[in-house]
Structure 1
Amino acid sequence: MERVDLAHEEAFRLGRLTVRPGLRQLVRDDGADEVVEPRVMQVLVALARTPGAILSRDDLTSSCWEGRVVGDDAINRVVSRLRRAADGIGEGGFRIETVTKVGYRLVLDGAAEAPARPEAGAVAELRRLKLDRRAMLIGAGAAATGAAGWWGWRRFAAPPAETPPPPEVAALMQQAAIAAQQGTAEGGSQALGLLRRVVALKPDYADGWGMLALAYAGAALGGAPSIEADMRSRAQAAIRRAESLDPDNAYASVATDALRPQVRHWASGERTLRTALERHPTNIFLLTSLSITLLSVGRCRECADVLARAIAVSPPTPGLVYSNVQALWAAGRPEEADRAMEAAYQLYPSHFAVWFTRYYILMFSGRAQESLAMSANVDRRPPGIPEFNFPMIDAVAKAMLSHAPADIDLAMKLNLEAAHRGKGFAENTIQFAAALGRIDTAFMVADAYFFNRGFQIGEFRFAPEQRTYQRRDLHRTQFLFYPSTQAMRADPRFEKLVADVGLAQYWKETGSKPDYKS
């Protein structure tokens, strides 16, 4: 059997899905998508090469495991994941059939037809999408405990092209959007390369330059510190070029806002976004960016309302659905948050942002046993997350259930160690400590996080192997207004914290109030 090399496999159709091997992505016709593990995609490609024909286990190890000896458990696990994808995002349009003591075969729903694989079909599909509101998915999701950098925690959205892009770059723009949606450093790098190609082919295309500016901004804020200055300079140059072609370019507005320090600059960022929205009222990127700003300053109910506007004009991308869940939760609408959470989990059960959002909301809302059940189901854990992360969060869930001092001590020990390594871990630890009644610990970690007092937090956002960074002077404040930190808001020290961070000045300047004060 010929080895499956995902990088050189063409996209093909499988029922209602477009399968993109190089991106490990299954994309349904309604815009829903799922990224699968490399081995899972290799096996799917091997079976799709000869649909209806039986492949033995030896065939699969030859083509997908380079002929290495692997146990039955490894193959069974991959086939199991494929079947979940077939029943989930594939909606039963295909199935993987076991032929006892022989092997496996791929069967399409009600037909023996082969998956469509010609390159022309893939190109036609990309052109058909024309980068409308269902096609543009630039940005990548990462929940409070996820893995991605700037693309995820700041700007995972689905910006529309208000006018179709030029035909000669439409496919490249779509590919860039899909790459960015992966929520990984690799995906961001791929998007950057594709967008450079867009502006080289079409140097007078304003949206191409605006999107390139966003890609450079993402690299500046979520990439290694050594490249920040260069990426920031390139982003600013791309913004200038976009605005010279279109002074009202929406993407240039968002890129400008992104490069501005967020802490102590919320008011100016909000003005920029609201002004741009007057010209582009249905631009998903602007709407989701404004929602993040509102959540960052404690205006959670308004954030949820803005996201409702975004949902009305966008397909349910992973970033949008998990952001909606968090906004509803923060806005004090738990029943709606639960419904939205389960809908998101059905659409994207293994997407790390969706998975972690569900785990934590269950845990913080008195359902820690269900969180532990999620983690115990190893096959449905999100791929790409270091193994140590799961026992660490499970310790918190167990402490939530038992309330035993020893369990709380263990949960705090594990998470405090992680808080020293990365800012994402520190954000989580603040929430865990507050929810477990360790308020002094929550404020201690907040001092380190916001003001570098007590201990230094590393510039990795999470684990080093995930290759996402967050500068020491780049802070988030959304988590200060989640239900998980309610105990902090009830403590007298909280008012000093929000004053020192600059939030009190924002509320005074804008004449607004955070939800917890209204």
Structure 2
Amino acid sequence: MDVQRTEFDYVSPRDLSRVPAFAIGPLHVDPPTRTIFLAERKAVLEPRVMQVLVALGLEPGQVLSRDDLIALCWNGVIVGDNAINRVISLIRQALAAVAGDAVHLETITKVGFRLVVAHPEGADNSPDTPDIAKTSRRGMMAYAGLAAIAAAGGAALIGRKTLFGDRADPDSVELVERARLLQLTGEPGTSEQAISFLKQAVTIDPRHADAWGALSLAYLLALAGFTGRDTATMAELMTNAAQRGLELEPDQRDAAAVLAFSRPAFGNYARFDRATERIVRRYPDYWYAYARRAMFLRDVGRVNESLPFADRSIELDPMLPIGWGNVALGHFLAGDVRESDARFEQAGARWPAHGYLWNTRFQLLLESRRYDAAASLALDPQARPDYVPREAGEWNARLAWALRDGDRQALAGQRSMLVEQAAQAPQAAQYNAPLLVMMGFAEDALDSLTRLYAIAGTAPGVAHQTATVVLFRPSMTALQSDERYRALLEVSGLEAYWQQSGSQPDFRRN
């Protein structure tokens, strides 16, 4: 193939960050990202594998011996044949997967290796994918011994020409996908790991709008869960990431949703109502828009209206275990226990030991007075999440049996732990309150929620983690005639929202 000369005479295969993108026939090679690319096919290579490919690619058709490769790619350090054979094998596999028959690696017996381009006339030598500088073999070997001079001189000024034009860096794209898959699980610790991946993604490619949008959404999801981070700092990072995403791509949906939902729903129901409606209209195929709309409607007691939005969210992305759990919860709150059970069964078949599904189903079994089924779920080692200790499952089973038997002494002992949890972490009240009511300690439930809502009213970080859907659980709506329950509707801002919007919660409509 004809190789066009660039302004750089010597390029070290070892220093991948300074090697410009080049083409071998129709195959594009981007050393800084360790990626090879042809049409829609791509592969990311190990650093050493890319170094050897670069060395061979400097002069396609020319033979390099094993000693040449050691000098160029291993800095002269003696390595065994197995190490070289492994790299050669990986190059062959990658070329076969990406380039097919267009480019292949040939072994010249007892001499060395060379790259062969089957159809050199098909090479793309456009300005966006230039061939690397043609370097004589003598020049290559000289450069292997002059790395220090190059590092101190003009080689430091090499500017990478992107192989992909406006496309995102493949490594950044891969990290975004890894983060997305992590977040889909919804398990503890995944938000922090996803944020780490996404921070790497925007570092690799600062102009990757989807990476910035995904990072802003990861911050929002972490903010809405329990986190040890400073929530004010996280909120600022979230906003900055979303704004950067929209600067790069004005219609980036994650970033747009994050800015729309940046203020907590608690106490801002009318604004959140408009925001969720707007995002659903703007992005009709975006799962999170529907999921967030469904969550909001549940939070304001409009459970029946939430069901189509929750269903649509898992139609758009069926690999959302929390989404399935929320669909099941919605049907339960709407009074359709059979449909709720069916959704739990479907979700359990896919994710047999998922924390949110396990915990939510346990509580709903208790609330529907199916105590033996709840105890069986709690004790089933196949259903219990790996990170939940056996003792926690046993505690749940004892609670189910105490409720079944009306064992006031046992319930009083378990009450103490639930009250203490809410005292240490006010957000725990929204999970513990229904249990306390079922156990016969409604006053404790109302006390803990009153304290939580008072704190959430002045602390945005806590407000982000506060969901008022708890007020519409069957055990809680049974208290609707209680003056303190009505006070919770007032202090949470729900009564004001219903009056302003002209809407009503389902329990009043019914």
Is it true that 1:430 corresponds to 2:433 in the alignment? yes
Q: Which residue of 2 aligns with 1:292?
A: 295
Residue 363 of structure 1 and its aligned partner are, at CA, apart by: 1.5
Q: Which residue of 1 aligns with 2:186?
A: 183
Contact 1:221/1:228 (8 A) holds in 2:
no
Question: What is the aligned-residue identity percentage?
Answer: 24
* Mapping 1:11-30, distance limit 5 Å: none
CA RMSD of aligned residues (A): 3.0
| Superposed CA offset, 1:98-121 (max 9, x none) | xxxxxxxxxxxxxxxxxxxx9979
Give the Cα–Cα distance (whole angstroms) in 1 for the partners of residues 185 and 461 of structure 2: 19
Q: Which amino acid aligns with 1:509?
A: Q
Q: Which amino acid aligns with 1:247?
A: P
Q: Which residue of 1 aligns with 2:462?
A: 471
Q: Which residue of 1 aligns with 2:403?
A: 400
Query: Residues 474 and 285 of structure 1: is their aligned pair in 2 closer, same or farther, counting only changes over 3 Å?
Result: closer
| Superposed CA offset, 1:251-289 (max 9, x none) | 123222443132111221221221122121121011101
* Mapping 1:346-385, distance limit 5 Å: 346-385=349-388
Contact 2:168/2:205 (8 A) holds in 1:
no
Give the Cα–Cα distance (whole angstroms) in 1 for the partners of residues 441 and 407 of structure 2: 13
Q: Which amino acid aligns with 1:471?
A: V
Q: Which residue of 2 aligns with 1:443?
A: 446
Give the Cα–Cα distance (whole angstroms) in 2 for the partners of residues 301 and 400 of structure 1: 29
Give the Cα–Cα distance (whole angstroms) in 2 for the partners of residues 241 and 285 of structure 1: 20
Q: Which residue of 2 aligns with 1:27?
A: none
Residue 222 of structure 1 and its aligned partner are, at CA, apart by: 4.1
Give the Cα–Cα distance (whole angstroms) in 2 for the partners of residues 442 and 189 of structure 1: 31
Q: Which has the larger radius of gyration?
A: 2
* Mapping 1:108-119, distance limit 5 Å: none
- Structure 2: stretches of 5+ with no match in the other structure: 1-89, 99-166
Residue 231 of structure 1 and its aligned partner are, at CA, apart by: 2.2
Query: Residues 220 and 449 of structure 1: is their aligned pair in 2 closer, same or farther, counting only changes over 3 Å?
Result: closer
Q: Which amino acid aligns with 1:497?
A: L
Give the Cα–Cα distance (whole angstroms) in 1 for the partners of residues 227 and 357 of structure 2: 26
Residue 301 of structure 1 and its aligned partner are, at CA, apart by: 0.7
Query: Residues 423 and 348 of structure 1: is their aligned pair in 2 closer, same or farther, counting only changes over 3 Å?
Result: farther
- Structure 1: stretches of 5+ with no match in the other structure: 1-117, 126-163, 454-458, 460-468
Give the Cα–Cα distance (whole angstroms) in 2 for the partners of residues 353 and 389 of structure 1: 14
Residue 361 of structure 1 and its aligned partner are, at CA, apart by: 1.5
Give the Cα–Cα distance (whole angstroms) in 2 for the partners of residues 277 and 166 of structure 1: 29
Residue 209 of structure 1 and its aligned partner are, at CA, apart by: 1.4
Q: Which residue of 2 aligns with 1:173?
A: 176
Give the Cα–Cα distance (whole angstroms) in 2 for the partners of residues 222 and 371 of structure 1: 25
Count of matched residue pairs: 347
Q: Which residue of 2 aligns with 1:335?
A: 338
Q: Which amino acid aligns with 2:342?
A: R
Give the Cα–Cα distance (whole angstroms) in 2 for the partners of residues 313 and 473 of structure 1: 25
Q: Which residue of 2 aligns with 1:305?
A: 308
Q: Which amino acid aligns with 2:238?
A: A
Question: Which residue of 394, 419, 424 maps to 2:422?
Answer: 419
Question: Which residue of 496, 501, 505 maps to 1:510?
Answer: 501
Residue 434 of structure 1 and its aligned partner are, at CA, apart by: 1.7
Residue 473 of structure 1 and its aligned partner are, at CA, apart by: 7.8
Q: Which residue of 1 aligns with 2:492?
A: 501
Give the Cα–Cα distance (whole angstroms) in 1 for the partners of residues 434 and 299 of structure 2: 15
Residue 223 of structure 1 and its aligned partner are, at CA, apart by: 6.1
Q: Which residue of 2 aligns with 1:318?
A: 321
Q: Which amino acid aligns with 1:478?
A: V
Provide TM-score, normalisation by structure 2.
0.62
Contact 1:322/1:354 (8 A) holds in 2:
yes
Q: Name whichever of 270-279 and 184-193 sits farther off.
A: 184-193
Is it true that 1:208 corresponds to 2:199 in the alignment? no
Contact 2:173/2:211 (8 A) holds in 1:
no
Which 4+ stretches in 1 moved above 6 angstroms? 118-121
Residue 438 of structure 1 and its aligned partner are, at CA, apart by: 2.6
Contact 2:353/2:383 (8 A) holds in 1:
yes
| Superposed CA offset, 1:428-454 (max 9, x none) | 32101222333222212222222259x
Contact 2:219/2:237 (8 A) holds in 1:
yes
SS of 1:420 mapped into structure 2: helix
Question: Which residue of 176, 195, 202 maps to 1:192?
Answer: 195
Contact 2:430/2:470 (8 A) holds in 1:
yes
Contact 2:264/2:463 (8 A) holds in 1:
no
SS of 2:478 mapped into structure 1: helix
Question: Which residue of 251, 254, 264 maps to 1:251?
Answer: 254
Give the Cα–Cα distance (whole angstroms) in 2 for the partners of residues 358 and 226 of structure 1: 29
SS of 1:489 mapped into structure 2: coil
Give the Cα–Cα distance (whole angstroms) in 2 for the partners of residues 348 and 473 of structure 1: 27
Q: Which amino acid aligns with 1:340?
A: R
Bigger relative contact order, structure 1 or 2 (CA pairs below 8 A, ≥6 apart) = 1
Residue 308 of structure 1 and its aligned partner are, at CA, apart by: 1.6
Give the Cα–Cα distance (whole angstroms) in 2 for the partners of residues 476 and 289 of structure 1: 12
Contact 1:434/1:487 (8 A) holds in 2:
no
Is it true that 1:489 corresponds to 2:480 in the alignment? yes
Contact 2:215/2:238 (8 A) holds in 1:
yes
SS of 1:397 mapped into structure 2: helix
Give the Cα–Cα distance (whole angstroms) in 2 for the partners of residues 257 and 484 of structure 1: 33
Give the Cα–Cα distance (whole angstroms) in 2 for the partners of residues 354 and 308 of structure 1: 16
Provide TM-score, normalisation by structure 1.
0.61
SS of 1:190 mapped into structure 2: helix
Give the Cα–Cα distance (whole angstroms) in 2 for the partners of residues 314 and 445 of structure 1: 36
* Mapping 1:77-226, distance limit 5 Å: 167=170, 169-184=172-187, 186-222=189-225, 224=227
Residue 384 of structure 1 and its aligned partner are, at CA, apart by: 1.2
Is it true that 1:279 corresponds to 2:282 in the alignment? yes
Give the Cα–Cα distance (whole angstroms) in 1 for the partners of residues 278 and 285 of structure 2: 13
Contact 2:426/2:448 (8 A) holds in 1:
no
Residue 187 of structure 1 and its aligned partner are, at CA, apart by: 2.2
Residue 368 of structure 1 and its aligned partner are, at CA, apart by: 0.8
Contact 1:345/1:358 (8 A) holds in 2:
no
Contact 2:429/2:448 (8 A) holds in 1:
yes
Give the Cα–Cα distance (whole angstroms) in 1 for the partners of residues 348 and 437 of structure 2: 26
Q: Which amino acid aligns with 1:491?
A: D
Residue 180 of structure 1 and its aligned partner are, at CA, apart by: 2.6
Query: Residues 321 and 224 of structure 1: is their aligned pair in 2 closer, same or farther, counting only changes over 3 Å?
Result: closer
Contact 1:439/1:487 (8 A) holds in 2:
no
Residue 225 of structure 1 and its aligned partner are, at CA, apart by: 5.4
SS of 1:263 mapped into structure 2: coil
